[in-house]
Amino acid sequence: MELIGEYKLIRPLARGGMADLYLAEKQGPGEFVKTVVIKRVTKALLNDDEVGAMFLDEARVHGQLHHPHIVQLFDLKEDKNAYYMVLEYVPGWDLHQLITGMKPLEQSVRAGLALPIICNVLDALHFAHHLAVIHRDISPGNILISTTGAAKLCDFGVAKSDLQQTFTKTGFTKGKFRYMAPEQLEGGLIDPRADLFSIGVCLYETITGKKLFGQAKDEDVIQAIRSGRYPIVLSLPGNLHSPIKTLLQRALMSSPKDRFQSARDFGLQCAEVLATLHSIEKPLFWGDYFGDEAVDHSPSKGQSKKLGRFRRLIGNLSKLSQG
């Protein structure tokens, strides 16, 4: 098994454009074992100075963010000429996986699960924005949900802050444009309200189980975003709880001045809508869905065990939503 510095790699987690992620562990005295995530610059890009500089920027920005809803960066190191980050391991799923898994559930149940996740991320953004950090790449793959139900924001790979030393030349292609606010897509100056727009897109997808732009071609999506023509503003599913509709419409306004003005305002509004949902539904808590299954976090059991657990979770959720 390959070693990176003092860490033994257990299995690959994900391969991104710039970095590879692994589940890894470090052993200590006695039976001590610490499981972490290693994010390392992709081998093919080791000689690319711009990539190296961006990776260091990511670490500098991320390293200053200590918050319960932000994945913690423990360390930045170098091994065999490759920089790597040592990150807190979040056992669970990213929001993209969760959206897929929650598709069979009723919309009201999805809303009850989505709102607490979004509240957590807005809490994280409230904190980051106060430190003048704009994430700029809010999307379901960058929101992790732990088996305890807590959501944590990760991937500050294109975040903007005063600590940044390199500036991207390639503009909007650095984030995922289907989640981007119009002003970000245009490559102009952005402020924290661009992150809040992206949160709106994530909320829409989590609650409806649908993509905001469906299967539309990239060029049509770009055209629609530029002209401010969002399907959400034109038509929302008729059966959607009306406070949720209002929330989504506000979050997805094309002009920043018409949106929520701060992560805190948006978060407070989400909490209010969650309360109205609870007045018509049995309250939903993540902990209820996991029971004993939450106790076994053992990473070495691998992906198939994790997926099995997730399927059972979804089975439990379906039962709950019917009863």
So which residues are the catalytic ones? 137
**Shortest CB 163 distance to ligand ADP, Å:** 18
Sign of the torsion angle spanned by Cα atoms 68, 71, 77, 79: positive
Asked if residues 196 and 263 have their Cβ atoms less than 8 Å apart, the reply is yes
Q: Find which of ligand ADP, Mg ion, none residue 88 binds, CB within 5 to 8 Å per kind.
A: ligand ADP
- The residue nearest ligand ADP at its CB is 16
> Is 142 an interacting residue with respect to ligand ADP (CB under 6 A)?
yes
Residue 183 found at the interface with Mg ion (CB under 5 A): no
Q: How far is CA 135 from the centre of its chain?
A: 11
CA atoms of 163 and 42, how far apart (whole Å): 23
Residue type, 95: L
Distance CA 48, CA 177 (A): 24
Nearer to ligand ADP, 7 or 230 (CB): 7
- 127's contact among ligand ADP, Mg ion, none, with CB below 5 to 8 A by partner kind, is none
> CA–CA separation, 209 vs 129, rounded Å?
28
**86 forms part of the interface with ligand ADP (CB under 6 A):** no
Q: Name which of residues 237 to 256 contact Mg ion (CB under 5 A).
A: none
Looking at beta carbons, which residue is closest to Mg ion? 155
Q: Find the binder of Mg ion among 72, 142, 164, 206 (CB under 5 A).
A: 142
The answer to whether 19 contacts ligand ADP (rule: CB under 6 A) is: yes
Which tokens in the block code for residue 83? 């920089």
- Which burial class, exposed, middle or buried, applies to 153 when counting CB atoms under 10 A from its CB (0-12, 13-18, 19+)? buried
290: left (phi over 0), alpha (psi -120 to 50) or beta: alpha
H helices of the chain, in order, are 49-63, 95-101, 107-130, 182-185, 193-208, 218-226, 231-234, 242-251, 263-280, 286-290, 302-322
Of 84-92, 101-109, 212-220, 306-314, which part binds ligand ADP (CB under 6 A)? 84-92
The residue type at 117 = I
21 binds ligand ADP (CB under 6 A): yes
> What is d(CA 215, CA 210) in angstroms, rounded to the nearest whole number?
10
Residue 289 near ligand ADP by CB under 6 A: no
Q: Does residue 155 interact with Mg ion by CB under 5 A?
A: yes
Site size for ligand ADP, by CB under 6 A?
A: 19
Q: How far apart are the first and last CA of the chain?
A: 47
Interface map 93-132 toward Mg ion (x if CB under 5 A):
----------------------------------------
Binding site for Mg ion (CB under 5 A): 141-142, 155
Contact residues toward ligand ADP (CB under 6 A) are 13-14, 16, 19, 21, 37, 39, 71, 87-90, 94, 141-142, 144, 154-155, 157
